[in-house]
Amino acid sequence: MALVTTKKMLLDAQKNGYAVGAFNVENMEMVMAVVSAAEETKSPVIMQTTPSTVKYADFDYFYANVKVAAEKANVPVAIHLDHGNSFELAMKAYRNGYTSIMIDGSHGSFEENISLTKSVVDVCKNGNVPVEAELGKVGGKEDDLDGGEGGYTDPSQAKEFAQRTGADSLAISIGTAHGVYKGEPKLDLNRLSQIREVVDIPLVLHGTSGVPDEIVTECVNRGICKVNYATDLRIAFTKGVKKVLDENPDTIDPKKYNSQGREEVKEYVKSKMLVVKSAEQAN
């Protein structure tokens, strides 16, 4: 089927008590793996790229990969800009056909974040492309993204932010971080529940790689509608490639080691579809 936006995906998730998995893809094999996992579990799915990923290969390369995968798939597939860090980058994704866009103004002040987010929302709504925003700051470091120590989302600010920006979904900070955790993350689940009580739009959890599955599921039970995974997909793909090269160091055909990377990513994604409870929810 054709690419879809995340609007209906996330509203359906919010209504029915599950979350949609959003997986960062870095190459064709990862795109193929994510779609295959979604089809096998009958899950809607979001594939996303970061600013550093589209710097490596531009929007049109990744859009083309995901578009072909979506057209061959029998489950809903969206392509999303993750952590768009400027109005210009968000507009480039919009013009290249992305069906969901995140603008991350969390590094600015509250008012600066509102202004930047609203500017993107005002343009994207003309093309019916939903916008994800972030309030609070998810800490950690991944790619060119450095969230430092992070900062928790204030529930009262979240309500005002959602109302003033018109964003379609909101990424919140409750103690997760980007990249690899140095210890077990401690999430403020009560804060999540407080935000859910005052914010009507779907809520998003970033920095989920490395968070215990049972905690992610509890976050979904408390109202998270989109769950992002990035670092662990890279680890899975690299594990598959290294396995082939360790066992057969003379391998020179990229298809042979990339296919093993693809399989590792597929199995990882399938397991997370169960964690976020999206299996059998494709429609």
86-131 per-position pLDDT tens digit: 999 999 999 999 999 999 999 899 999 999 999 999 999 999 999 9
Burial of 274 (0-12, 13-18, 19+ CB in 10 A): middle
Which residue shows structure tokens 């969230």? 147
Catalytic residue among 12, 82, 104, 154: 82
187 within 8 A of 215, measured Cβ to Cβ: yes
Task: Tell me which H or E stretch contains 230.
Answer: none
- What residue spans define the domains of the chain? 6-275
Tens digits of residue pLDDT in 162-194: 999 999 999 999 988 755 555 577 899 999 999
Tens digits of residue pLDDT in 47-96: 999 999 999 999 999 999 999 999 999 999 999 999 999 999 999 999 99
Q: Which residues, 6 or more positions from 7, have their beta carbon under 8 angstroms from its beta carbon?
A: 128, 130, 168
Q: Is the domain covering 6-275 a CATH 3.20.20.70 domain?
A: yes
The pTM of this model reads 0.92
Position 144 confidence tier, pLDDT thresholds 50, 70, 90: low
Query: Among 236, 260, 262, which residue's Cα sits nearest to residue 248?
Result: 260
Query: Among 65, 116, 110, 57, which residue's Cα sits nearest to residue 90?
Result: 116
Active site residue 104: no
